[in-house]
Structure 1
Amino acid sequence: MPLAAKVALPIAARTAAPAAAKGGASVAQKALQKLGLQRDIDLALHLPLRYEDETRITPLANARDGQMVQIEATVTASEVQLRPRRQLLVRVEDDTGSCELRFFSFYPSHQKTLAVGARLRIRGEVKGGFWGRQMLHPAFRLAGGELPAALTPVYPTTAGLPQPYLRRAVVGALTRVDLSDTLPPGAEPPVTRIYSQNGLQRLFSLREALIFLHHPTPDVALSTLEDHSHPAWQRLKAEELLAQQLSQQQSRRERDRLRAPVLRPARADDGALPLHEQLMAVLPFDLTAAQRRVGEEIAADLARPVPMHRLLQGDVGSGKTVVAALAACLAMDAGWQCALMAPTEILAEQHFAKMIGWLEPLLAARGRRVAWLVGGQKKKERTAMLALVASGEAALVVGTHAVIQEQVQFKNLALAIIDEQHRFGVAQRLALRQKLSHQGMEPHMLMMSATPIPRTLAMSYYADLDVSVIDELPPGRTPIVTKLIADSRKDEVIARIGAQVAAGRQVYWVCPLIEESEALDLSNATATHADLSEALPGVMVGLLHSRMPTAEKKAVMALFTSGQMGVLVSTTVIEVGVDVPNASLMVIEHAERFGLSQLHQLRGRVGRGAAASACVLLYATNDSGRVGETAKERLRAMAETNDGFEIARRDLEIRGPGEFLGARQSGDALLRFADLATDTHLLEWARELAPQMLDRYPDLATRHVARWLGGKSDYLKA
């Protein structure tokens, strides 16, 4: 079929979207807004979930059982039956056979259309039965008019937005929207070519690709539409990835035009060593080569007058905190302030304790301090801390979200360190950046993550960041043995716990819920704590969960950290940051309910000392004694590798990038069409083309980003 015919809009649908109702937007228009379909380009990019084939009529004699077909037939009988339940039964016939239509929900208007003698076009699934062929609740309308030349799209929709309205709105948008090419001359994406009318190979234009995907011809292989391998899909994915890369590169270039404090180590007037050298001198361990390399990368960034935006990746226990402390030293040594923000109080407190131990004595000699800011502080303590921050006496401020609250006024914040950055939203990171904006400068940003990011994700979602990787663990860390054990063998695990505690070791037992849930048949932390206390007489068994008062949490953690408590039953509040070298056994109950990166984080709480450590994944099976396929994949990955990057790669395969990153915590997916698992070649093309476009074709680049991302590009600036 000639290309022109393939991409023509269906004649029957060439009408604009219905006008707004008087007195404001109609129900359907409000539903469009709810779906974010406000611009013509939004509608043009609102692609079908699936398609219905209304382009052909199937004789009843040729319809196979279970097949979705369209027939054209005459009504020969129509009656309402009241038993066994109220239903409308309609008998129809064509030249080759008959079929019964059955409706359990119907209106008088349906009965009128389905009257005896009416000639109908009917679409539904044919099923064989004792009384012959049937269709249950088929779609129907009066016969007549030409058959469509293209498949009928079925769109994602919402309440108040019927498919016919949405189809007309999309077609209207396609006739109005500017889909002119925004790719530079000769910058064709590496996608499959198609044959045009004269038999030559060429690419779909964006307009051709969109019209085809909204109204594909019936000869198309549906599998290529479903798996997005069709050339029209490839064109869309290439353009989407290019928009993302352009936006990331724009963000990076805009930031390079901003100013930031220059932070270089300086020797004091009295000849004292710079703060970071003093810290390295008092540390009870040597830095690994990877820590030194990453530290030098950060130091080089801080010495430049443009804001650093660096992501520090390192597997669980690789020593990111000490690298962050050395970076903080560079800021404080230059007379500026540093903020370290963590997602939970427990993690913030771990950081605070380390920073106090390492830095407080060094800062005290300079008349400066480490401040502590969390949500649950008493007013008197909080007021005192706010005063220290505002005066600049607090050189380092450690805390949770409380650090970015409006009443927190820094004297001169130069470096913001965000731990477990994926747990913070875009707005929160932007708020931290604005703490220095009143001085016409931006703080340097160091974001840390113990959830390693696969290369394709780093190339796409974090293309605007510099990435440093600590790719080795400190010496002396023992490999963790991971075992999968069915929860029917829980008694054996408890016996193993008793042996560990008797040998002077400590144990974590992690549960997914705090209270019983009717929806999920999961044991809860409170019940498990009671069971273990009974099963392990003479052993101190503690309980920790997020709803406990802060003072109680601190008391429990203090007992466990000091070694007095043998077993700690906890929810996932101990997922990150908790460092107890004497803990050598981690039991995760209902492991099949946890995400892969979360399991890896939890496992990282053990193996921090010299003793051999193990992680037991207790899994519950369903009634048939099996675990779901996805859960099985996660558990298998955990048993097969301790490598955080391999775990991350498998997690990406299982969950996809949106869930893996929480769509960069913006609440809105930045990639709708491209799949980073299969479209790496398109990503490479977009990554190479983006800087060239910004340099040589800035107007095209601006139009391209506006078309594809609209306001979403702002999400990338955090």
Structure 2
Amino acid sequence: MPSSPAPTSKKTAPSAAQQVMHKLGLVRDIDLVLHLPLRYEDETKITLLRNARDGDTVQIEATVTQCEVQLRPRRMLKVTVEDETGNCVLTFFSFYPSQQKTMAVGTVLRIRGEIKGGFWGRQMLHPAFKVAGGELPQALTPVYPTAAGLPQPYLRRAIASALQRVQLPETLPPDTPPPVMSYWGDNGLQPMMGLRESLSFLHHPTPDVALVTLEDHSHPAWQRLKAEELLAQQLSQYRSKQERAALKAPRLTVPAPQAGTQTLVEQFLQQLPFGLTGAQQRVCREIAEDMARASPMHRLLQGDVGSGKTVVAAMSAMVCIASGWQCALMAPTEILAEQHFGKLVGWLEPILAPLGKKVAWLSGAQKKKERTAMLELVASGEAALVVGTHAVIQEQVQFHSLALAVIDEQHRFGVAQRLALRQKLAHKGLEPHLLMMSATPIPRTLAMSYYADLDVSVIDELPPGRTPIVTKVISDSRKDEVIARIGAQVAAGRQVYWVCPLIEESETLDLSNATATHADLSEALPGVTVGLLHSRMPTADKKAVMELFTAGIMGVLVSTTVIEVGVDVPNASLMVIEHAERFGLSQLHQLRGRVGRGAAASACVLLYAVNDNGRLSDTGKERLRAMAETNDGFEIARRDLEIRGPGEFLGARQSGDAMLRFADLDKDIALLEWARELAPVMLAQHPHLAATHIQRWLGAKSEFLKA
């Protein structure tokens, strides 16, 4: 049962602090009690000045003996205080008259700050203080995440009040086996802490607690919260999967051929210029079995760069078309969508043309006449396959009979975009089958948590003929050597990519830009055609550049990350990535995958620049080391999760809301396993408790998982 909102006066408008709380999402009592401290201050004891060591943060109780404003070397307030063991000077560079008045001579203050020694004796800089009086607290004082206009004392009172009001009925079933949250106490093995007990403790821990267990979240109270959070996520995922299983979708099965003829799928396989790998055949069977059911498929197809996901998508489309329905394929960039369109037209049109069917193309850059013609093909059903960018999901696009939606690079699309594509069939009372593809392999722990509602197929085998890529990490001080190597590659008939992170000069980031690099390489490589490609170019210009490079006429292509995915030029054998330390690890792996697609030996050069101190950041070092040590996309993904967290893999699945605030997928694998085992049992045997648990932890956020 959701808890009631924190009460506000009905007669007056919310205060400034209340408005800030609402902006921070602190609306319900449960929101407040789950707003946990960043750190704690120990105000439970008084330290005598003689016992305070230099560098210690301590609380003292002392009498003001002197209070004056000094103007040199700058304006400051100097307050001298003393207890029975010594004295200390408090220094304030920023202060109010009211504060000065509070610290009048003779006043006994309770002061907390860092003690520093020096030539002029002991001092504290900008300590916290208040007039002494009252009993000392019995618990550590919480310091909460906050924002301007929301003082700590106000937030502490609001949270303490919410903690008294909030309803926290136990949602774990009585017979629930504890996760690894039992712990050894003074009397042996202790049972796991209850939720209310855990929250109360984390907001007001006793002074005897080992602070390290609060800071690293290993304390049993933290373990209970992390387990509850992971359970809410798993429950939400499994419930979404159950709800989807109850929906209806078209059954897509290939009709048996007439005597002496082949099915459309057999025709498709026969005219391919290559055979499918064992892994491709396996995932094609998995997808076909899903689409043959009356409930909608929700499958994620994973495959490393160059593993052949496009042909699997084409095979799935042929199953859909052979069943008499339409298929849509959506890609995040125009270049990638055009690449797919070119391949699919070549593979499918010879089979579709005799049936009076076509492959349609939709993009935002189309001229009105061409777009209108394509929309008519889609609406009439003559377009059996529709390929495009976000234009595929625009309101004016009306499908005749959409049954399969394929989304490439799914992490680049948001929740609303995926839902819009699914809803293209909703008016018929049916859901389309959904196949999401990703060349960024999902680490196991991430697949177990954020993608628990999906069925996952993995292409774990590269097609024959792919050459290993040698990766070199080189300082940009050796750029001339790299350019000389480019000249040798082009002279040998090979082609080269040079990737830059920015289009134009930036005053805030010292990065090379594509335009300047294009000019430099054109000058350094006379007689070589050097092209330029970036996202701000008109579509026609981008298309012309890619056609020249694909045809082998252009030797070097200088580009921004617009060529990150999908570009397939087998003759390109060298990839140079400038300022590689600034790129994400999965993005570097994607870019590296643009070479090594032919028979020639291929290399990827990672050029890095050091900062003003002559150093490379620790994160930059980790990324470049990982790239040099492995070509395995799954190992790259695992390391990327360690370095950057889950955001790189999730994209907009959570619409910007991190659904795990407390649990750490890298450290809490045992808790995740516990939640995965408990969730389906709880949904089946205790549905009311499951619903209460999801609402408490996720509220409306659980809707994001349905995309």
TM-score by length of 2: 0.98
Q: 1:592 aligns with which of 577, 581, 587?
A: 581
State the SS of the aligned residue for 1:435.
Answer: helix
The one-letter amino acid of 1:534's match is: E
State the SS of the aligned residue for 1:370.
Answer: strand
Query: Which whole-Å CA distance do the structure 2 matches of 1:569 and 1:203 have between them?
Result: 59
Q: 1:392 aligns with which of 372, 381, 386?
A: 381
Q: Does the aligned pair in 1 maintain the 2:654–2:705 contact within 8 Å? A: no
In the other structure, the counterpart of 1:582 is: 571
In the other structure, the counterpart of 1:158 is: 147
In the other structure, the counterpart of 2:182 is: 193
In the other structure, the counterpart of 2:474 is: 485
Q: Does the aligned pair in 2 maintain the 1:341–1:419 contact within 8 Å? A: yes
In the other structure, the counterpart of 2:397 is: 408
Moved more, 470-479 or 654-663: 654-663
Query: Which whole-Å CA distance do the structure 2 matches of 1:161 and 1:110 have between them?
Result: 20
Q: 2:461 aligns with which of 460, 469, 472?
A: 472
Deviation readout 1:480-527 (Å, 9 max, x if unpaired)? 000001000000000000000000000000000000101111110000
Q: Does the aligned pair in 1 maintain the 2:471–2:628 contact within 8 Å? A: yes
Query: Which whole-Å CA distance do the structure 1 matches of 2:245 and 2:482 have between them?
Result: 55
Q: Which runs of 5+ in 2 are unaligned?
A: none
The one-letter amino acid of 1:364's match is: A
- Which structure 2 residues correspond to residues 406-555 of structure 1 after superposition, within 5 A? 406-555=395-544
Decide whether aligned partners of structure 1 residues 18 and 70 sit closer, same or farther in structure 2, where only a CA change above 3 A counts: farther
Residue 164 of structure 2 corresponds to residue 167 of structure 1:
no
Q: Does the aligned pair in 1 maintain the 2:6–2:29 contact within 8 Å? A: no
- Which structure 2 residues correspond to residues 39-188 of structure 1 after superposition, within 5 A? 39-188=28-177
Residue 213 of structure 2 corresponds to residue 224 of structure 1:
yes
In the other structure, the counterpart of 1:372 is: 361
Decide whether aligned partners of structure 1 residues 303 and 523 sit closer, same or farther in structure 2, where only a CA change above 3 A counts: same
User: Could you tell me how far 1:189 is from its partner in structure 2?
Assistant: 3.1
In the other structure, the counterpart of 2:662 is: 673
Q: Does the aligned pair in 2 maintain the 1:314–1:320 contact within 8 Å? A: yes
Query: Which whole-Å CA distance do the structure 1 matches of 2:13 and 2:447 have between them?
Result: 45
Query: Which whole-Å CA distance do the structure 2 matches of 1:392 and 1:224 have between them?
Result: 62
The one-letter amino acid of 1:393's match is: E
The one-letter amino acid of 2:313's match is: A
State the SS of the aligned residue for 2:95.
Answer: coil
- Which structure 2 residues correspond to residues 338-377 of structure 1 after superposition, within 5 A? 338-377=327-366
Decide whether aligned partners of structure 1 residues 52 and 624 sit closer, same or farther in structure 2, where only a CA change above 3 A counts: same
The one-letter amino acid of 1:664's match is: R
User: Could you tell me how far 1:24 is from its partner in structure 2?
Assistant: 1.6
Q: Does the aligned pair in 1 maintain the 2:414–2:652 contact within 8 Å? A: no
Q: 1:203 aligns with which of 169, 192, 197?
A: 192
Q: Does the aligned pair in 1 maintain the 2:6–2:28 contact within 8 Å? A: no
Q: Does the aligned pair in 2 maintain the 1:332–1:395 contact within 8 Å? A: yes
Deviation readout 1:368-391 (Å, 9 max, x if unpaired)? 111101111111111111111111
Query: Which whole-Å CA distance do the structure 2 matches of 1:593 and 1:200 have between them?
Result: 48
User: Could you tell me how far 1:658 is from its partner in structure 2?
Assistant: 3.3
User: Could you tell me how far 1:200 is from its partner in structure 2?
Assistant: 6.6
Residue 372 of structure 2 corresponds to residue 383 of structure 1:
yes
The one-letter amino acid of 2:683's match is: L
In the other structure, the counterpart of 1:650 is: 639
The one-letter amino acid of 2:361's match is: W
The one-letter amino acid of 2:563's match is: I
Q: Does the aligned pair in 2 maintain the 1:545–1:571 contact within 8 Å? A: yes
State the SS of the aligned residue for 1:667.
Answer: coil
The one-letter amino acid of 2:193's match is: F
Decide whether aligned partners of structure 1 residues 225 and 663 sit closer, same or farther in structure 2, where only a CA change above 3 A counts: farther
User: Could you tell me how far 1:186 is from its partner in structure 2?
Assistant: 2.3
User: Could you tell me how far 1:105 is from its partner in structure 2?
Assistant: 1.1
Query: Which whole-Å CA distance do the structure 2 matches of 1:543 and 1:199 have between them?
Result: 69
Q: Does the aligned pair in 2 maintain the 1:194–1:204 contact within 8 Å? A: no
Q: Does the aligned pair in 2 maintain the 1:339–1:398 contact within 8 Å? A: yes
Deviation readout 1:342-387 (Å, 9 max, x if unpaired)? 0000000000000110011111110011110111111111111111
Q: Does the aligned pair in 1 maintain the 2:415–2:652 contact within 8 Å? A: no
Q: Does the aligned pair in 1 maintain the 2:411–2:649 contact within 8 Å? A: no
Query: Which whole-Å CA distance do the structure 2 matches of 1:17 and 1:306 have between them?
Result: 42
Residue 26 of structure 2 corresponds to residue 37 of structure 1:
yes
The one-letter amino acid of 1:35's match is: L
Deviation readout 1:542-591 (Å, 9 max, x if unpaired)? 00000000000000000000000000000000000000000000000000
In the other structure, the counterpart of 1:332 is: 321
Q: Which runs of 5+ in 1 are unaligned?
A: 1-15
Residue 601 of structure 2 corresponds to residue 608 of structure 1:
no
The one-letter amino acid of 2:405's match is: A
Query: Which whole-Å CA distance do the structure 2 matches of 1:317 and 1:199 have between them?
Result: 55
Query: Which whole-Å CA distance do the structure 2 matches of 1:417 and 1:58 have between them?
Result: 66
- Which structure 2 residues correspond to residues 671-710 of structure 1 after superposition, within 5 A? 671-710=660-699
Query: Which whole-Å CA distance do the structure 1 matches of 2:540 and 2:113 have between them?
Result: 64
Deviation readout 1:24-70 (Å, 9 max, x if unpaired)? 21111111110111111111110001111101111011111111111
Identity %: 79
Query: Which whole-Å CA distance do the structure 2 matches of 1:271 and 1:336 have between them?
Result: 24
In the other structure, the counterpart of 2:550 is: 561
Query: Which whole-Å CA distance do the structure 2 matches of 1:340 and 1:274 have between them?
Result: 22
Query: Which whole-Å CA distance do the structure 1 matches of 2:7 and 2:199 have between them?
Result: 21
Q: Does the aligned pair in 1 maintain the 2:411–2:652 contact within 8 Å? A: no
User: Could you tell me how far 1:193 is from its partner in structure 2?
Assistant: 2.7
RMSD: 1.4
Q: Does the aligned pair in 2 maintain the 1:310–1:467 contact within 8 Å? A: yes
Query: Which whole-Å CA distance do the structure 2 matches of 1:539 and 1:17 have between them?
Result: 69
Q: Does the aligned pair in 2 maintain the 1:204–1:235 contact within 8 Å? A: yes
The one-letter amino acid of 1:384's match is: A
The one-letter amino acid of 2:558's match is: V
Q: Does the aligned pair in 2 maintain the 1:485–1:619 contact within 8 Å? A: yes
Q: Does the aligned pair in 1 maintain the 2:486–2:496 contact within 8 Å? A: yes
Q: How many residues align?
A: 703
Residue 613 of structure 2 corresponds to residue 624 of structure 1:
yes
User: Could you tell me how far 1:85 is from its partner in structure 2?
Assistant: 1.5
User: Could you tell me how far 1:87 is from its partner in structure 2?
Assistant: 1.1
TM-score by length of 1: 0.96
Q: 2:15 aligns with which of 26, 30, 33?
A: 26
User: Could you tell me how far 1:199 is from its partner in structure 2?
Assistant: 7.0
